[in-house]
Structure formats: structure tokens, C-alpha cells
Amino acid sequence: MVMSSRQCTFCNYKDRRNLEVRILRKEITQAEAAKIIGVSRQAVFNHMKNHLSKDIILVEKGSDRAEGLNVIDELMSISKETKAILQEARGSKRKDNRLALRAIERLEKQIELQERILGNIKEGNTINLQFNTEYLEIKAIILDILEKYPAAKEEFLERLSAVEADSD
Ligand SMILES: [Zn+2]
């Protein structure tokens, strides 16, 4: 008999996704996860086999599951760095508009890539960009900067609306 996800303690565990990822990356064993959650090893095994968060499964469907997960991590850290550059370019006394625009270009590419990855995830699960805080943060920063470049802002919003429409 297979436990349904409603009865599964792991499914209802607050740190669920984080633990799932750490198990997949072999940072912790299923036995260790079982201890953390306070369930049997069998329960963790059952959860990982039957209830794993849909997006996590689909992210790894390419070749290697760890690789798939790392792509997202990688992307997140790249956009974090780009955002830092952007803020620096904007925040300094002598505003460096060329640098800011270059950073925006990169962020656009990153959003596109992120969208492509999320698009793969979406096939089996709904991930709404509107709820992706990283994405919303980047978008807010870009829009803020583009206040100075009305034409670029218009084009950015146009392209963005296509991306966002896809993510519904
Ligand atoms: Zn479960």
C-alpha cells in the first residue's frame, strides 16, 4: 500500500523542497532526512519515489538530476551578481549608464534563459513567473533604470509581456 501525499508527513513538512533538493544532491541521506522530519526511512523513500515536487522531477529529466538543479542555482547567482553590478552602476555619484545598459542586456538574457528553464518545468507543473521573487526583483530594478530610457522601457515591457503571458 502506498501512502497518499495527504497522509505523508514529508509532503506537509515546511522545509520540504529544500530537503528534497539536498537529498537529490546527496548532501544528506534519506535516513538523515527521516531523522530531521521525524519519520521512518521508508516514509522518506516513499515520498521521494511518489511525491517529489513536480518541478524538481522535471528539472532533472534531461540527463543528470544534479546538473539540472545546479543550472537554476547557477542562474540565480549570476543574476544576483548582475543585479549588484546594476545597482552599483546606478548608485554611484557618476552614474555609469553604459554599464547599466550592459547589465540590463545580460539580465534580459538571463530572464529569457530562466523562462526557458521554467518553461520546461511548466510542462508538468504550474510555475508562475509573477510569483518568482527573484524575477520580480530584477524586473523592478530594470524598470526603475529604464525610466531614463523611455523607448527601451517600452520595448522591454513589450517583450516581457510575451514572456509573462507564456508563464500563466
Ligand atoms: Zn510525500
Residue 164 alpha carbon to ligand 1 centre in Å: 31
Average pLDDT in the 3-26 region?
84
> Based on the domain organization, do 9 and 42 belong to the same domain?
yes
Average pLDDT in the 93-107 region?
73
Q: 57 in a domain, yes or no?
A: no
> Based on the domain organization, do 38 and 84 belong to the same domain?
no
> Is the pLDDT score of 62 beyond 60?
no
Q: 60 in a domain, yes or no?
A: no
> Is the pLDDT score of 70 beyond 60?
no
Q: Which residue has the cell 530594470?
A: 142
Residue 15 alpha carbon to ligand 1 centre in Å: 12
> Is the pLDDT score of 2 beyond 60?
no
pLDDT for position 63 = 46
> Based on the domain organization, do 97 and 46 belong to the same domain?
no
> Is the pLDDT score of 86 beyond 80?
no
Q: Is pLDDT larger for residue 157 or for residue 14?
A: 14
> Is the pLDDT score of 22 beyond 80?
yes
Residue 51 alpha carbon to ligand 1 centre in Å: 5
Most trustworthy range by pLDDT among 2-11, 28-37, 80-89, 103-112: 28-37
Residue 130 alpha carbon to ligand 1 centre in Å: 26
> Based on the domain organization, do 108 and 130 belong to the same domain?
yes
> Based on the domain organization, do 115 and 36 belong to the same domain?
no
Number of domains in the chain: 2
Supply the range of the domain harboring residue 21.
1-52
Q: What are φ and ψ of residue 93, in 5° steps?
A: -60, -45
Q: Tell me how many degrees the CA angle 156-157-161 measures, rounded to the nearest 5.
A: 120
Residue 11 alpha carbon to ligand 1 centre in Å: 4
> Based on the domain organization, do 42 and 88 belong to the same domain?
no
> Based on the domain organization, do 46 and 69 belong to the same domain?
no
Q: 58 in a domain, yes or no?
A: no
Distances (CA, A) of 53 to 35, 60, 105: 20, 12, 32
Cell of residue 54, nine digits:
513536480
Residue 120 alpha carbon to ligand 1 centre in Å: 23
Q: Tell me how many degrees the CA angle 125-64-48 measures, rounded to the nearest 5.
A: 55
- pLDDT tens, position by position, 48-57: 888 887 666 5
Residue 118 alpha carbon to ligand 1 centre in Å: 23
Residue 122 alpha carbon to ligand 1 centre in Å: 20
pLDDT for position 148 = 76
